[in-house]
Structure 1
Amino acid sequence: MPSQTSSKKNVSIHTPRLERGKQRVAELMAAAARVFAEQGYDAATMTEVAAQAQASIGSLYQYFPTKALLAQALHGAQLEVLRGRLESLAQQAPDLSPRQIAERILEELSLFLEENPAFIALAERRDIDKKAKAATRSGLLSLLTGLLAQAQPPLPAERHALTAVMLLELMKIAVSLKARESAEIAEGVVQTFKSMLGQHLDSL
């Protein structure tokens, strides 16, 4: 995990070099994931995270001086997991239609959110660095565009970027809905949007 600097304070994450320290950081981040998922970002406290990890509060602050930096590190790690899931579709993409690729992307997102419920709270937090957010969006759009470009039958080239944006926005809607609505309503809305997008892609 690379060292990161807070945009608000001149503090940074301490990256351990020894295996024992790396294990401790993994335990702290796993505990943070549970607390953020259960309490939400705003309500979660560093004290609760330390307690969940069975660590001293001093140990937590040694590696993550602020809650914002802890959330930033965890969110970044989970984004890497999501990217990995999407990248794994690259080998399948040449055998899939545009609609099938879109459906697989949204299925992977759904599975990812089930396995990483803290991602919803972290994605909704208000203190996300704008430059980092823009870089994440750009990277995901590039990945989605690349997947769609491999579809068979192919989409018109000028539709690759547009469809990637539609998919990314639908992913954001899915995350937002899961944070605000019941599971039944969130799933129903996402499935409706997915069906509409599928029909649109079939028409192309």
Structure 2
Amino acid sequence: MRKSPTQKRSRERVEHILASASRLIAERGSDTMRMSEVAELSGISIGSLYQYFPDKAAIIRTLAERYNAISRTCITDGLTDVKTIEDLQQAFSALIDEYYGIFLAEPVIRDIWSAMQADKALREIELEASRQNAILLTAALKRALPEEDLGKLQASALLVMYFCECVMRLAISTGETEGRVLIEAYKRMAYRSFDDAPAPRSP
């Protein structure tokens, strides 16, 4: 954001801007959203809009960062009590179900992340979010598998969390019936990466 709101009226204006942008993205996608449309729907002048957001990418980035913060909170709360691999599998299953529920309630998230793929700076934000989520998962994995190599756990955690975002977008795109099948398949794939059995050696 160009201008950080400090007064209540300014904060309310920013919230209204973001809500208007989300509505436009949900209706037609981010590609066709124009700053002039955001300003009109928000009931403000284009100059006032630019005081807070210099361009469309800034709006998308702010929305994405908000959803990323929600994700981190879900992961932190969901994995806090994990001590064993069984705990981890149960907690991870509940976490993925909760996360999918957020996507179902806010399908605009899919469109926001799709918009991020077209902008290098925004793609880096998504990768950093996956890295931060992977740190949380690695900590839980290390508690459940204390003898396992930390590097292996970190790599597995990053893959699991990065693919999680991809699976969520796919599940939302296919519809809820097929989406839930995909979510369950993803869980099974993730569980295998949590297995502490050593990988078979190549002959």
What is the TM-score of this pair, normalised by structure 1?
0.78
The residue aligned with 1:114 is: 104
Cα 1:127–1:140 change in 2 (3 A) is same
Deviation at 1:179, TM superposition (A): 5.6
Quick check: 1:163 aligned with 2:156? yes
CA gap 1:131/1:182 in 2 versus in 1, 3 angstroms: closer
CA contact (8 A) 2:67 2:109 kept: yes
The unaligned stretches of length 5 or more in structure 2 are 198-203
Q: Does 1:101 align with 2:101?
A: no
**In 1, Cα distance between equivalents of 2:56 and 2:97:** 31
Q: State the identity %.
A: 23
Of residues 36, 39, 45, the one that matches 1:56 is 45
- Specify the alignment match of 1:76 in structure 2: 65
Instruction: Name the counterpart of 2:128.
Output: 135
CA-based RMSD of the aligned residues comes to 2.6
Aligned to 1:19: 8
Q: Which residue of 2 aligns with 1:9?
A: none
The answer to whether the 8 A contact 2:20-2:42 is kept is yes
User: Where in structure 1 are there 5+ consecutive unaligned residues?
Assistant: 4-12
Aligned with 2:83: secondary structure?
Answer: helix
TM-score for both structures, normalised by structure 2: 0.78
Q: Name the SS of the counterpart of 1:93 in structure 2.
A: coil
Pairs aligned (count): 191
C-alpha separation in 1, matches of 2:74 and 2:171: 20
- The DSSP-based 3-state class of the residue aligned with 1:157 is coil
* Contact preservation (8 Å) 2:18, 2:63: yes
